[in-house]
Structure 1
């Protein structure tokens, strides 16, 4: 099997696709609300792209392998670390870096929606 065919298999990985789509959806919402392409690279703002990506991963893994799976537990723990960092730690480093709890929960909501719009089982297509 060629390397190219192996790389195409990444697009059949539903949790990876959900993670990327969740992040891109959150960033697209920022672009639309700010009416500027510069908002794509912005670390703060509504909704949190990092929280969206991690919740998309956690919810999709829950749907794919089960919510009682240790893999899902690791993804949820990582989601909690990312959200905690975004809300509690980053604003102390630099004022414009962090998120409010509302922005973080909006990102979690974006990830939830994206993960539930995709099919639960691999392969995606």
Structure 2
């Protein structure tokens, strides 16, 4: 199998596309609200890019493999860890690193929306 076909197959991976696209959409929303391009690479702010990426992954996997699949369970657990870290742990390390619950839930909403706008049944393997 050539490298070209591997890249094409990678681009058909809906959960991966949903993850990356959710993160990019969340970071773009930060730039629009703050009117500063430097917010694109910041860890804090509205909405949470990490929560968006992980919820995009979890909801896209749920749509592709089923809500009762082990892959969905793992992605959901990872989403909970990422949100808990962003809200409860990072603000203690440095104040501008963390998120409020509202920012984290807004990120989850971005990921949910992106995952449901993409087609669901593209084969993963």
Q: TM-score w.r.t. structure 2 length? A: 0.96
Q: 1:96 and 1:12 mapped to 2: Cα distance?
A: 36
The CA deviation at 1:9 is 1.3
Q: What is residue 57 of structure 1 aligned with on the other side?
A: 57
1:17 and 2:17 aligned: yes
CA distance in 1, matches of 2:116, 2:2: 32
Q: 1:119 matched to which residue of 2?
A: 119
TM-score between both structures, scaled by the size of structure 1: 0.96
| Runs of 5+ consecutive residues of structure 2 not aligned to the other structure | none
Question: 1:70-91, CA deviations, whole angstroms, 9 ceiling, x for partnerless residues?
Answer: 1100000000000000000000
CA distance in 2, matches of 1:13, 1:40: 25
TM-fit CA distance, 1:2: 1.4
| 2:90 equivalent in structure 1 | 90
Equivalent-residue separation in structure 2 for 1:38 and 1:5 (angstroms): 36
2:47 matched residue in structure 1: 47
CA RMSD, Structure 1 to Structure 2 (Å): 1.2
Q: What is aligned with 2:3?
A: 3
Give the aligned length: 124
C-alpha deviation, 1:48, in angstroms: 0.1
Matched, 1:99 2:99: yes
Structure 1 stretches of 4+ with a deviation exceeding 2 A read: none
Name 2:26's counterpart in structure 1.
Answer: 26
